[in-house]
Chains A and B, each alone.
Chain A
Amino acid sequence: MNLKSIYPPHGIRIYWGPMLRIRFHGRGGQGVKTSSRILGRAAFLAGFLAQDSPIYGAERRGAPVVAFTRISDSVILERGFIFNPHIVVVMDESLIGDWLARPLEGLLRGGVALINTAQAGAPLEVSDSHVVVRLNITDEALKIIGRPVISAPAAASAAKITGLIRKKQVLEATVEELTELGLAEETVEKNLRLVSEVYDMTPHHSIKINEEPSRSLEVVDLRSDRVVFSDILEVGNAYLRKTGNWRVFTPVVDYGRCTGCMVCYVYCPDSAVKLDPDKKPVIDYENCKGCLICVLECPMRAITFVREAKAYA
C-alpha cells in the first residue's frame, strides 16, 4: 500500500476505509500497553496506518488496564476508547468475570475473543455471536522466558488473527519496542522465540465483519435543582474490591514446616496474610495477588507456590 495515496501532496483525496479495532485487556504489570504498541508498530511496518493508546486509572500492579490498536489502510478518524472491537485480547482470563473490566463487552458479531488461558478447551470455537480463540500464552512464556511476561506473544497472536501482518513484522516490532523499553538483548531474544512460537500456535481465522458500529444516543438534561456534593459518605468500602482474582501463582503454606515466626505476615505488601490463634499464617486468597514475596522471605521455606489456573464463567 502506498502512503502517498493516503496523504496526497495537496491533502484533498482522503477517504475513510474499513478499519480493524483491537482492544487489549489485562492487568497492570502484564504489558498490556506494550502489547498494543507492538501490534501497532507491526501494522505500521506492514504498511498500514496504525494508532495505539492505553487507558489506565490509578497505577497499581494488578489493576485492570485497557489498551487499543487501530489498523487501517486509510486515515483513522477516531481516537480513544474502542467500544466495538473486532478483536478483544484477554491477557488475563480472570478479567472475564470482572464487573468493572467487562472485556467482552461490545465485541462485534463475528469478532474474535482471543483468550490467554491455562484451561483446556477447543483452540478455535465459532459460535453465532463470535469466535473464541484459546491459547495458553502464559505457560509458553514461563517455559521460554521463565516469567509470565506476555506483551509480545499476545501482540503476535492478535497480529496473526488480523490476517494483515506477517510474523517478520511482529518480530521487528518486538525488537524495536522492547529495546526502547531498555530490555536486555538476551531477554529480547527470548521474547522473539516466544513471539515466533505463539504466532505459529495461533489458528488461522479470517474475520468477516462489514458492520460499522453505531451507538444510539440519548441526550439528557443534567439539571438537578439542588446542590450535589461530590462526597463519599460510605467510606472504608475498599474491602469490597477483591484484589485476589489476579494471580499467576498461588502461595501455599506447609504447616508442618511453619514455625509461626510471622515474617510472611510482616512482609506481605497487601496485608493478605492473617494470623490464626497459634500465630500461624492464613493466606487471604480473596486478596492475595500472588506476588510471592512471602515465598521469598520465609526463613523455613515453608511456603511454596503452585500455578494458578482459574476457570472463568
Chain B
Amino acid sequence: MRDVEMMTGNTAAAWAARLADVDYIPAYPITPQTEIIETLAKWINEGVMKAKLVQLESEHSMLTAAGTASLAGARVFTSTSSQGLLYGFEMLYNIAGWRAPMVLVNVSRAVAAPITLEPDHNDVLSARDSGFMQFHAERCQDVLDLVLMAYRVSEDRRVMLPSIVNMDGFYLSFTREPVGLLDKEEVAEFLPPYSHPQAFKARRHVVKGPAVIGGHLYTFFKHNIHESITRAAQVFDEAAEKFQSITGRKLEAVEGFLLDDAEYVLVITNSFTTTAKRAVVKLREKGVPAGLAKVVMLRPFPAKIIVEKLKNRKAVAVFDQNISQGFGGIIYSETAAALYHVKNRPETLLSVVGGLGGKFTTLEEFEYVFSLLANPDKVGAGKPLFLFRKDELRDVERAMKLAGVEGEM
C-alpha cells in the first residue's frame, strides 16, 4: 500500500473505518453506499481488519444495533443512503438521545418519488435536527479525514454525540482520486481508544432512554444535547489542529477559497464545490473579485464563522442542493438567520437551488450565479432561483412525450 492511493469516496470511507479500528459494523446494502460495506466485509474476510460485521434486516435495525453497540463500549461504524436513512430515521433521534458516539457515513442520494440514484442533500439534511453532528465532504480525501475527525469529536467526553459524514453519491462515492492514508502510529496519536463512562455492562445495570412524562425533564436533556453539540465546534477546531500537526492537512468548519478581498461570495457544500471553485478562479482571471465559502460542518452550524466570512461583502449567493418544499434552500435560510443581527451584512443574499437529484451543475451556471451577484437588480429578493438549462427543459419535454403525457410544457 502506498501512502497515497487512488480510491473512490466509498473506499476512503472504508479505509477510515479500518484505520479507526472499529469494533462493530452493522450493515444493510443500498446504492450508492454498498461498496463501503462490501470493502469492509472483504477486509474482514481476508483477516486484515478485525471487526464484527453483521447484515441486519433493515436500516432501522441496523441503526438500532449501531447505537446500542456504541453504548456497550464498541466503536461503531455504519453507512447508508437516502431511503435507507429515512427508513431508520426515528433511531437517529434515539441514538443522539442515548449519547452514543457512533459514526454514520451517508452517501447522499435524492429521495423518491420520482426515484433516482443520484445525489442531493435532502436525505442528510432531514437528519439536521436529530442531534447528530454533520460533516460534509468535497473530495474523497475529505471523506477519510472527516470520518477520523468525527470519531474524535463524537467520543470527546465534552460532546458524546454521534456524527454523520456525508459524501455525494457518484460524484464522490464512485469517483477515484488520490487519497492520502495515515499510518497506525499517526492514527493512534490522533484517536485515543474509545470508552463510554456509563456503558452497558453485565455487572452494572443502566437504563438508557427512559420515559420522562412532564416535559421539563425532556427539555432539560434536549437542552443538554444542544449545549454539547454547540460545544463540539470548539472540540472540532482542537481536533483539526491536531490532525494538521500529524498529517499536514488543514480541516476547517468553513473553508474559504480566494476569500480575502472577495466582494461576491458563493456559499456551498459537498462535491459541487470543486466546480464552483473553478468558476471563482476563472472570474478572478477576468478581474472579478469572486470568492467561495464551503460549509464543511453543518451541525453544529458554524454561524459565527459564516458571519466572519460573509460580513462586508457586496453580495452573497447560497447554493442549496436541497429543497425545503414551500420555502426554498435550507442552508440559505440558516445563513440568512446567522446574518440577521450583523450590521455590515451583505446587501444581497441570493438563494440558488441546483443539483437536485444529482442534476449536473456546469461551470457556466456557477459563473451565471456570480454575474447575478454583480447585478442584483435582476434577482427577485428572497425567492429561490432554480438553476435549469434550456437543453435540460427540452429533454424533459422529450421524456414527457415518450411517457405519453399530452399538452405543452
Contact = CB atoms under 8 A, between A and B. Distances in A.
A89 to B, nearest CB: 22
Interface string B203-230: 0111111111100010111011001100
A184 to B, nearest CB: 34
B282 interface: no
Residue of B208, B217, B227 most packed against chain A (CB within 10 A): B227
Given A222-B223, A227-B224, A228-B224, A235 B160 contact: no
Interface in B143-168: 157-160
Nearest to A226: B158
A236 B205 contact: yes
Contacts of B221: 228, 230
Given A222-B223, A223-B227, A227-B228, A57 B213 contact: yes
B97 interface: yes
Contact of A235 (B99, B206, B217, B220): B206
A236 B98 CA distance: 20
B245 interface: no
A229 B205 CA distance: 14
A227 B97 contact: no
B375 interface: no
Nearest to B218: A230
A227 B207 contact: no
B220 A233 contact: no
Contact of A232 (B206, B213, B223): B206
A224 B230 CA distance: 13
Contact of A230 (B158, B159, B205, B209): B209
Interface bin, chain B: 20 to 34
A232 B224 contact: no
Given A57-B213, A58-B211, A233-B198, A227 B99 contact: yes
Contacts of A226: 158
Contacts of B159: 227
A231 interface: yes
A235 B205 contact: yes
Given A57-B213, A222-B223, A224-B227, A229 B99 contact: yes
Contacts of A229: 99, 160, 197-198, 208
A20 B209 CA distance: 39
Interface string A15-35: 000000000000000000000
Contacts of A224: 224, 227
A58 B221 CA distance: 20
Contacts of A225: 227
Nearest to B196: A229
A229 B198 CA distance: 8
B96 to A, nearest CB: 11
A14 B76 CA distance: 59
B95 to A, nearest CB: 13
A233 B227 contact: no
Given A222-B220, A223-B227, A224-B224, A230 B210 contact: yes
Contacts of A227: 99, 157-160, 224, 228
B227 A232 contact: no
A231 B208 contact: yes
A251 to B, nearest CB: 31
Contacts of B99: 227, 229-230
Contacts of B197: 229
Contacts of A222: 219-220, 223-224, 227
B228 A233 contact: no
A226 B228 CA distance: 7
A232 B198 contact: no
A228 B231 CA distance: 13
A233 B206 contact: yes
A231 B210 CA distance: 7
Interface in B70-118: 97-99
B135 to A, nearest CB: 20
Nearest to B214: A57
B97 A230 contact: yes
Contacts of B224: 222, 224, 227-228
Contacts of B160: 227, 229
Nearest to B210: A232
A223 B227 CA distance: 7
Residue of B160, B221, B224 most packed against chain A (CB within 10 A): B224
Given A229-B208, A231-B208, A232-B207, 8 more contacts: A57-B211, A224-B224, A225-B227, A228-B220, A230-B209, A230-B210, A230-B212, A235-B207
Interface of B: 97-99, 157-160, 197-198, 204-213, 217, 219-221, 223-224, 227-228
28 contacts: A57-B211, A57-B213, A222-B219, A222-B223, A222-B227, A227-B157, A227-B224, A227-B228, A228-B220, A228-B221, A228-B224, A229-B99, A229-B198, A230-B99, A230-B209, A230-B210, A230-B212, A230-B221, A231-B198, A231-B206, A231-B208, A232-B207, A233-B204, A233-B205, A233-B206, A235-B205, A235-B206, A235-B207
Shortest Cβ-Cβ A-B pairs, 5 listed: A232-B207, A57-B213, A235-B205, A230-B221, A222-B223
